[in-house]
Amino acid sequence: MLLRDVARARDRSVAARAFLYIGYCQEKRRTGEASGTYRSILAEFPEQREAVYEARRRLSLLGHAAASNGVATSVQSTWIPTAVARISVGGIPQRVAITPGGDEVYVTSLESNTVSVFETTTYKVTSTIAVHGQPGPIVVAQDGLHVYVGHGDGGITVIDARTKFARWVDVGNGPVRDLALTRDGRSLYIAAEHSGLRRLKLATPRRRFRPQDVRWVWR
């Protein structure tokens, strides 16, 4: 009764924690009511992040326990994933791209004008690459050697995935809204809001990029 009284407290953080403790007790007593209590936290206290995170975690565990016991429950069918890590990248993240081998992830950040790189095994940020203004669309070459970033100011950045060296390429008026690579990796299609669709013939080990390699596809 005491916990239920606290759960009606005006302090919402205290009330949310009280609901969590009620759920813990219901789990131990195996009354079958715990999942409903945790769902009440999600519905009634969405701004209480720690309580919501813990409620989702408990629901996930209850769902796994029910599945392992061969019990079909509503918790199992509405399983809620939980976060495995919190990764600090630049301000206002925009797009994410994973290397073909799956070992690195690239994240563009609009506010800080950076591209963050982190490892998928450790979730540790290994590089923060400064780029031109308003980075957004990002794509990784199939060979994993280069990463291409589109910008709101109309150009693209080419990143060497091995050295993390970034090179700017002016492709006309922006903003660049999307990027797509051909399967052979020789051409990059660039969709720019004010200058239409362009094709960039990419550099190779035997040929460097030239301004005339940017071709109009459609205006």
68-106: pLDDT as tens digits:
444 444 444 445 566 677 889 999 999 999 999 899 999
pLDDT band at 141 (very low <50, low <70, confident <90, very high): very high
pLDDT at 159: 94
DSSP bridge pairs for 139 = 148
Write out the DSSP string of 65-122: HHHHTT---HHHHT-----------SSSEEEEEE-TTSSEEEEEETTTTEEEEEETTT
**Lowest mean pLDDT segment, chosen from 101-110, 111-120, 194-203:** 194-203
pTM for the full predicted model: 0.60
Using CA atoms, how far apart are residues 190 and 213, in angstroms rounded to an integer?
Answer: 13
Tokens of 44: 């009634």
pLDDT at 59 over 90: no
Average pLDDT over residues 149-153: 91
pLDDT higher at 202 or 53 = 53
